[in-house]
Each structure stands twice: as structure tokens, then as C-alpha cells.
Amino acid sequence: MIFKKRNKVSAEFSMASMTDLVFLLLVFFMLAANTPNALDLLLPKAQGKSTNQKSVAVSIKKDLTFYVDEKLIPIEQIENEIKTKLVNQEKPTILLRVEETVPIENAVTIMDIANRNQYKVILAVRPPM
């Protein structure tokens, strides 16, 4: 008596589990890589409404280092850097981000630059909790 084998090994490879794994990895890396382009500053609390329209961001950290769009700039060159960034803007605006412990004189320096050149200044704050 001859018996037939019912279980045959298939030479085909199912890609379904591989595509699921690749899709999950793609989603993970897209979420993990989506970091904002901003310096880590502890901003003062206030109620207010922020706008998404900005021409240039000026940040002052607590060690009194000045950044223009995440680029470290000495205080002596900051006005020239702001002017070059805002040269052809229709409504030139400076988004001023100052940490809580920075003396107000440093923020006033940037506000004076904006006032001399007729730039609008928006002070960035974090919303109250």
C-alpha cells in the first residue's frame, strides 16, 4: 500500500509579515525624527496668542549667548545678521525668545535693534499650565 504525503513544503515566501515590519519601522522613524528646529529654552509664562508668521528668530540663553535662527552670533554682529535675514521681507518680524533668568537689558538690546529698523517684535512665551 502506497501512502501519499499530504503536507508539501511550499517554496513560496510570504512577504506580508516583512511589509508589516517595514511599515512599523517607517512610522517609528518618521515620528522620532520629527523634532522642532528650536533651541531648548525655558520661556516665561504668560497668556497670549502666538502667530506662525515669523521672519527671523532671535534667542537669548541664560548664559547670555545670542542665536539668530539657531546660529550662534556675537552680540556685536547681531544687528547686521538680522538686517541680512530681513532685507527683502514684506513685513519684517523678529520672534524674540528669551529664557526666564536672562536680565531684561539683553532683551531690550534686541528690541532697540528692531525699533531702529522698524521691525515688528513678537515675544515668545510658554502658555500657563
In tens, the pLDDT along 25-55 reads: 988 888 777 655 555 655 556 565 555 555 7
Domains in the chain, start-ordered, CATH in brackets? Answer: 56-123 (3.30.420.270)
> Which of 47, 49, 73 lies closest to 60 in space, CA to CA?
73
Q: What is the pTM of this model?
A: 0.58
**Strand partners of residue 57:** 95
Handedness of CA 78, 82, 84, 87 (dihedral sign): negative
Measured distance CA(60)–CA(68) in Å, rounded = 9
> Which of 126, 95, 89 lies closest to 111 in space, CA to CA?
95
Looking at residue 45, the DSSP 8-state letter turns out to be B
- 68-115 confidence digits (pLDDT tens): 988 899 989 999 998 888 888 888 889 888 888 888 888 899 899 999
Handedness of CA 37, 118, 103, 45 (dihedral sign): negative
